[in-house]
Amino acid sequence: MKKIHLLLALAIVFSSSFSQSYNIKFKVVGINDSIAILGYHFGNKKYVKDTVVISKNQGVFKGDEALAHGMYFILFPKENNFFDILIDDDQQFSLTTDTTGFFRKNLKFKGSEVNTEFRKFDKSIEGVNNEFAELTKQFKQKDLSDKRKKELQKKAKTLEEQRRKIILDNYNNAKNSTFKSIIGLLLEPEVPEFTLPENTVNKDSVLKVKEYYYYKNHYFDYVNFADSAIVRTPFFIPKFENYISKVVSQNPDTVAKECIKYIEKARGNKPVFSYLINYSLVYNEKAKLMGMDKVFVEIAKKYYATGEATWADSAYKAKVIDKMKKTEPNLIGNYAPDIRNVETYEGERTSLSKLKNKYKILIFWSPTCGHCKKSVPKLHKYYEELKSQKIDVEVFAVLESHDIDKWRKFIEEKKITDWINVYDKDEKTYFHYYYDIFSTPVIYILDKNYKIIAKRISAEQAKDYILQLEKE
């Protein structure tokens, strides 16, 4: 069975809640006989919405259905230039500019409060952004003295404080709600200076912990999860990704809890709600951390198995639910499902639950699998090394296929008869389902209580993992 790749790029269609059409007229002095593209941001990607031909410096984007709120851009591909605009309820407006100053210098709007406010903000922060750009160039210079580096760092801190003040002032004084929601994404929490009694044990560590929790707890203070416009910006998803992958402790239970916390904040806001669900659903694939598949299971159980993922088609829902059912029994920390009454290489009957070793390496493999032909001898070598160090470990090797003759021949040729080699002669263990075996080889490690402590790792990782546990 092929692995199911749960992609974030789902075919999700969101209907507009507005009955109006859109009509955006523009005039760009200096451009003629060219085209203009109206595009929009969604998550961390850009999409094309409309394309028009420019005639006599003018063009108009229009459509019978209203545009969804968010940050859009008008791109002039021939000129390799663009500028951003915001879309809210007022979608009948015009703008004028020219080809100077990256088209933004003389940009003016008529009939759009949100863009008038946005342009005012853009002008107010432009100077600081330009100084940052110049500062970045200076940082890249070779052979900078320590003194000069400190001077540049001090200047960067001052500029960042100025930048934050401009954004915060605009946020607090915003007249338009869409504009406020979008620039709120640019704000980070300002951590206060905490004080502790002088006799505090591990004072520096305690301060760092307090600062961390303040930053974490206030990370989304300026984010309006009820406004659908935030997901149609280039800011929201990177901000959320940074929080989940870098601010939050990379413990599966913690990540799942935090994902659900903010998904629920967006409940009632379909674009944000659905995007966060599907981002969280595939987080384990992005993080590539062992055990993070529990996040997938928790999200799938809460939103797909209950029918709340109404935007997904029936085929995709079925795949998600099927994978959830196959993954849940073998999550890290679970007791390993027993593999009962299987036949050994010697022709006897045994079960996984009969092993009493401190560590149990469980491998599913096939003698016709190319990767297995390399991995199985490696694992045997590492197994012998572990045994030589008097580590109480055993290997329970399960034949994934029905190639009995080839299985026996491989065991003999590679001299792995000191393992517990078994196959499901009666086909009653359903190990493919309980251990989610869709390819081989697959290696699990169980502790003395049969709890799964590692899964889907390489032969070398199995050895290193056990050695590390022994050190601890």
Give kind and range of the element (H or E) at residue 160.
helix 146-172
Short-list 32, 99, 86, CA closest to 59? 32
Task: Decide if pLDDT at 457 tops 50.
Answer: yes
Q: Can you give the pLDDT at residue 50?
A: 97
The reported pLDDT for the residue numbered 14 is 42
- Provide the mean pLDDT of the chain: 93
| Predicted local distance difference test score (pLDDT) of residue 105 | 87
Task: Dihedral sign for Cα 357, 426, 455, 421, please.
Answer: positive
Q: Half-sphere exposure of residue 246, counting CA atoms within 13 Å on the CB side?
A: 8
Q: What are phi and psi of 247, to 5 degrees?
A: -80, -45
pLDDT at 184 over 80: yes
pLDDT at 319 > cutoff 70: yes
Mean pLDDT for the stretch of residues 164-189: 97
Fold of 342-471: Glutaredoxin (3.40.30)
- At 207, the pLDDT band (50, 70, 90 cuts) reads very high
Distance, CA of 184 to CA of 128 (rounded, Å) = 18
The pLDDT value given to residue 143: 84
> How far, in Å, CA of 257 to CA of 263, rounded?
10
Residues 468, 45: Cα–Cα separation, whole Å: 41
CA pair distance 56, 408, nearest whole angstrom:
81
Residue 5 predicted with pLDDT over 50 = no
What is the per-residue pLDDT for 43?
78
Average pLDDT over residues 326-351: 96
- Quick one: pLDDT at residue 1? 33
Give 101's pLDDT tier (boundaries 50, 70, 90): confident
Q: Of the ranges 125-134, 137-146, 324-333, which one carries the lowest mean pLDDT score?
A: 137-146
Give strand ranges (E) for 202-277: none
* Average pLDDT score over residue span 323-338: 96
Q: Do 372 and 441 meet the contact criterion of CB atoms below 8 Å apart?
A: yes
Q: What is the pLDDT of residue 8?
A: 39
Q: What is the amino acid identity at position 240? A: F
Centre a 10 Å sphere on the Cβ of residue 90 and count the other Cβ atoms it contains.
15
pLDDT at 249 over 60: yes
For 259-305, write each residue's pLDDT tens digit. 999 999 999 999 999 999 999 999 998 898 999 999 999 999 999 99
CATH 3.40.640.10 assigned to domain 22-111? The reply is no
- Whether 232 shows a pLDDT value over 90: the answer reads yes
Max Cα-Cα span within the chain: 88
Task: Provide the residue ranges of all domains of the chain, joining segments of one domain with +.
Answer: 22-111, 235-330, 342-471
Q: Is 350 exposed, middle or buried (0-12, 13-18, 19+ CB in 10 A)?
A: middle
Query: For 32, which DSSP code?
Result: -
Identify the pLDDT of residue 72: 97
Among 13-22, 35-44, 101-110, 457-466, the minimum mean pLDDT is found in 13-22
| 101-110, 153-162, 198-207, 400-409: least confidently modelled range | 101-110
Mean pLDDT of 181-193: 96
Q: Which tokens in the block code for residue 84?
A: 């951003």
pLDDT in tens, 382-399: 999 999 999 999 999 999
